[in-house]
Homo-oligomer: A and B are copies of this chain.
């Protein structure tokens, strides 16, 4: 047995391999980076030596020598929201495609902290940055010395990937329109301002309503910090809708499945089942839309594709930088991913 290498086991380096095989450090390096430049015999010799010595590669040293960390920084607002955790999930999974590792920070809504995080990330020589939090302006992000891609946030001065929110609004409103609702209602949060991509949902909804001359209404609720707060504000909305439009068929497009579910629960708890004069469409295709007591129709964001596009957009720019004469992007690239309408029982109820 090799016996236990007790205490601090010194790591095996190129130097050790070189001495062991009689080659130079350079040749060992070449074995890893340009194996074809060695004779097959010599490759074999080194290959065996690696096993004999139990060599483990040291990426830190490589980074110092050539500057490529293969690190991408990620700043994400939180992970309570399924949308973000799923996005992070998909981002991490692109490791298989591109080989980049991710350093993740949770942005806590404070500008200064977030700047600190970015400095820390830069100190590790990350090669690119993905930003999902919205505390820092794209103008500021664009000034960073590395490529930046944002996801679903204000993106005027940087490249980005967003859902086609307008299309989402159109899809939702059209579906409700097809069900011959007497009144279309869209519920969104008060902080959905025009510069946010999510604002497109409102425009899409309104455009369809106006185009088809449908009776409609827009309701803003506070975002709310907790589930209970959301429940409370939606409780009022529910009671008002339920009484004001009594007897009318109501088509409700709720921006966010969590809120759609809350509304649905109010209905079920009041009526024991989903009344026929209610049709509901959510947004996000988050787990709750599937797990709800009546599965909720929803506009599904293609999170997997968005994550992939974000990373690949970043990789393109990072690759460009490695060239002799890099041609940086003159204009930010904005990729838009079409959402997918998912019909479930809150619109397709079989009675």
The 8 Å CB contact of A122, one of B56, B88, B95, B102, is B56
- List chain B residues, Cβ under 8 A from A122: 56
Of the listed stretches A18-26, A241-249, A283-291, A311-319, name the one at the interface; the rest are far from the partner chain.
Answer: A283-291
The 8 Å CB contact of A268, one of B63, B93, B123, B268, is B268
The 8 Å CB contact of A287, one of B227, B264, B273, is B227
Whether B101 contacts A124 by the Cβ 8 Å rule is yes
The 8 Å CB contact of A291, one of B56, B61, B261, is B261
Q: Report the copy number of this chain in the oligomer.
A: 2
**A29 at the binding interface (Cβ < 8 Å):** no
Whether A88 contacts B79 by the Cβ 8 Å rule is yes
Measured in the bound complex, the distance between the Cα atoms of B95 and A106 in whole Å is: 9
- How many A residues, CB 8 Å from partner? 51
A291-B85 contact in complex given A60-B69, A92-B105, A123-B57, C-beta closer than 8 Å: no
- The secondary-structure label for the interface of chain A is helix
Could you tell me which residues of chain A, from 261 to 297, have a CB within 8 Å of some CB in chain B?
A: 261-262, 264-265, 268-269, 272-273, 287-288, 290-294
Measured in the bound complex, the distance between the Cα atoms of B104 and A93 in whole Å is: 10
**A217 at the binding interface (Cβ < 8 Å):** no
**A338 at the binding interface (Cβ < 8 Å):** no
**A103 at the binding interface (Cβ < 8 Å):** yes
**A258 at the binding interface (Cβ < 8 Å):** yes
- List chain B residues, Cβ under 8 A from A145: 9
Interface string of A47-86 (1 = CB under 8 A from B): 0000000001111110110000100000000111010011
**A89 at the binding interface (Cβ < 8 Å):** yes
**A233 at the binding interface (Cβ < 8 Å):** no
Q: Which residues from chain A sit less than 8 Å from chain B, CB to CB? A: 9, 56-61, 63-64, 69, 78-80, 82, 85-86, 88-89, 92-93, 95, 101-106, 119-120, 122-125, 145, 227, 258, 261-262, 264-265, 268-269, 272-273, 287-288, 290-294
